[in-house]
Amino acid sequence: MELFLTYVIKVNLVISLLFTAWYVVMRKNKFFRQNRFALLVIIQLSFIMPFAPAILPTTFANQISLETAGSAIPDPLPAVTGSRQVPSYAKAPGAARGRTYVARFLWSTGLLYIFISGLLLLRLVNQLLNVSSIIRKCGKVRSHGVTYCEPADSIAPFSFFNFIVVHRKAYSQEQYVQIISHEYVHSDEWHSVDTLLAELTQILLWPNPLTGLLKRCLRANLEFLADDRVIRSGIDGKAYQLNILRFASARANVSFTTGYSSLIIKERIRMINATQTPEKRRYNSLLLLPLLALGYGVVSPAYAQQNEVPTVAEQAELKAIGGYYGLKYHHDIRIRVSPRDGRLKLLQLWDDHEITFKKQSHLTFYNEEKKFRLDFVKDKEGKIAGVIGMRKDRWIKLRADDPNVKNESKTIREVIAD
């Protein structure tokens, strides 16, 4: 569930960034096809970009001496002779409970998010069924790939894919021709795909208010595009605008259909009479490219510079890391580190619990599930001298002749039981 919520957050970040840039730079121009393309690309990239491969490497400074590490990191345990305390993260009942609470919260939040999205999706399905019912009850005439539907009752004209619904008897011949011309553009250019995509985007990203504004801008641009094509076809512009005003009080039947009686009448008339945007402003869209790169950098996870198959040098390093480590001041509390398949296996000898670590960077290994980090340190001679667990607990690498290493028969459980 954490991955799902992280993905949703990333999608919201990208779509907010790119749409805001489009709104500022491109919204008022008359390059309607360019605007349509830009809005569709913004929607699609927002959902795709979080899956893009990472390009930013992660680097850590790990070449620190044991003395430097010791002075920089305070002792987690008191230096009391004979004390046998297991590190906090090893026992970690409180930390485990904390992780459980966080996991429950994430699951609850994710399920609530999905539930609300599901309700909104059901509403959209219900609207689709209503449109299907209206079309099914209409008388139909098919011509040039378009089905003209005439309902029995007078309803606001609209189109949905290749279906154009108009109550012919409610309009004069001139009005009817203009309405059909307008709706034919919507049908011919598949504007219903755009509106459905915008609806689904708002459903999936419902907490983000910008998705509602994006949907309105996308629908308005489709109306501008249809009006522009109708005017260019030779229909009288003034008569067309007067006809639009007659439908100022009419409402679309459902939100995702493209309708002649759109409520954005003022904006449509303003766009019809606006002067053509200078051609050089068409290149303003290039200003979105830096923001596109920024959005990619924000949502792209960093990767560690490493190979899946360890090199000879890396294998030698892993071998040098392997061995027994004793907790500083309490060498009888031990862990065993073993390289295996290019990764590290850490065995807690007091409870035989094993944890697998993946290399994150030079001398740094990480377990994602437990958020457990190991930083190995070298002495002045360049040999592995110890490891710092969770950035606080310091372990000293035990020599092969150390009695704690030789005495394999006496486990830590026996030491603690004593």
One-letter amino acid of 283 = Y
Q: From CA 363, how far away is CA 158, in angstroms rounded? A: 65
Cα dist from 153 to 116, 138, 187, 243, 244, whole Å: 34, 9, 22, 21, 21
Q: What is the pLDDT of residue 391?
A: 82
Q: What is the pLDDT of residue 293?
A: 77
- Cα–Cα nearest to 99, from 367, 388, 387, 394: 367
Q: What is the pLDDT of residue 296?
A: 76
pLDDT digit string (tens) for the chain, length 418 residues: 778 898 999 999 999 999 999 999 888 888 899 999 999 999 999 999 888 776 555 444 344 333 444 444 344 433 334 444 555 555 544 444 555 677 788 889 999 999 999 999 999 999 999 999 999 999 999 988 899 999 988 888 899 999 999 988 888 898 899 999 999 999 999 999 999 999 999 999 999 999 999 999 999 999 999 999 999 998 888 888 888 887 765 555 556 666 665 557 888 888 888 888 787 777 777 777 787 777 777 776 554 444 455 677 777 888 889 999 988 877 678 899 998 877 899 998 888 889 999 888 888 999 888 888 999 998 888 889 999 988 888 889 987 655 555 544 343 334 333 3
- Pull the structure tokens for residue 131: 């449109």
Q: What is the pLDDT of residue 219?
A: 93
Which region, left, alpha or beta, applies to residue 85 given φ > 0 means left and ψ of -120 to 50 means alpha?
A: beta
Sheet holding 146-150, edge to edge: 139-143, 146-150, 163-165, 158-160
Model pTM? 0.63
Task: Please name the residue that has the structure tokens 């309700």.
Answer: 119
Q: What is the pLDDT of residue 160?
A: 92
210 touches 19 (CB < 8 A):
yes
Q: What is the pLDDT of residue 83?
A: 44
Instruction: Write out the DSSP string of 32-97.
Output: HHHHHHHHHHHHHHHHHGGGSPP-PEE------BHHHHHHHS--SS---TT-----HHHH-HHHHH
Phi, psi (deg, nearest 5) at residue 6: -60, -40
Cα dist from 174 to 171, 207, 313, 400, whole Å: 8, 44, 82, 98
